[in-house]
Amino acid sequence: MADERPALTLLERREIEAKIVGPLIRGFIAEIGEERSLDVVRQVITQLAKESGAGLAQEFGATSLEAFAGCLGRWNAGGALEIEVLEQSAERLSFNVTRCKYAEMYRSLGISDLGASLSCQRDFALVEGFNSAIELTRTQTLMQGATHCDFRFELKSVPDD
């Protein structure tokens, strides 16, 4: 018999995770300090994101920037992001996120200070796991109070061996 439960959007998954992980992180901060606790959180989240990126590459059967752009729908499912695409080619993908329900969700849970560690930092490791020749540059995020997140992906030239 097939599992007939509806699939959760990524935003819904992150909210469930945050309701558990947020209080755990607060507990660890109280016991071992903020710096050490957040270092461990970032290390774990980075590793999980790299594994997720590698899994996406395997699932898509491709590691091109175009294939990566095809993943945007997963993060945007349920209207989680409002995205303004500026450039999309084989070598570049540039867009601004003008609304982020992930940031809004962390704020509503009272853990906006943890949102960057739990969510935003994933982006760099995810793309690295997907294809280390794709470089992400981002100088600001809504989570940090900016007017938008500026995502700029570029396929780096890979030297011939």
Can you read off the two tokens belonging to residue 1? 């018999």
Give the pLDDT confidence of 121-158 residue by residue, as tens digits.
999 999 999 999 999 999 999 999 999 999 999 999 75
pTM of the model: 0.87
Give the pLDDT confidence of 76-120 residue by residue, as tens digits.
898 999 999 999 999 999 999 999 999 999 999 999 999 999 999
Give the pLDDT confidence of 27-75 residue by residue, as tens digits.
999 999 999 999 999 999 999 999 999 999 999 888 899 999 988 888 8
104, with CB counted inside 10 A (0-12, 13-18, 19+), is middle
Q: What is the DSSP letter of 90?
A: S
- The pLDDT value recorded for residue 158 is 59
Residues 142, 149 contacting (CB under 8 angstroms): yes
Q: Angle 10-32/34-60 helices, nearest 10 degrees?
A: 150
Question: Among 3.30.1380, 3.10.150, 1.10.10, 3.40.50, what is the CATH number of 10-155?
Answer: 3.30.1380
Amino acid at 15: E
Q: Angle 34-60/122-130 helices, nearest 10 degrees?
A: 30
Q: Please report, for the chain, the start and end positions of each structural domain, with discontinuous segments joined by +.
A: 10-155
Contacts of 54 (CB under 8 A, 6+ apart): 129, 130
Q: Return d(Cα 144, Cα 146) in angstroms, integer.
A: 6
Q: What is the DSSP letter of 116?
A: I
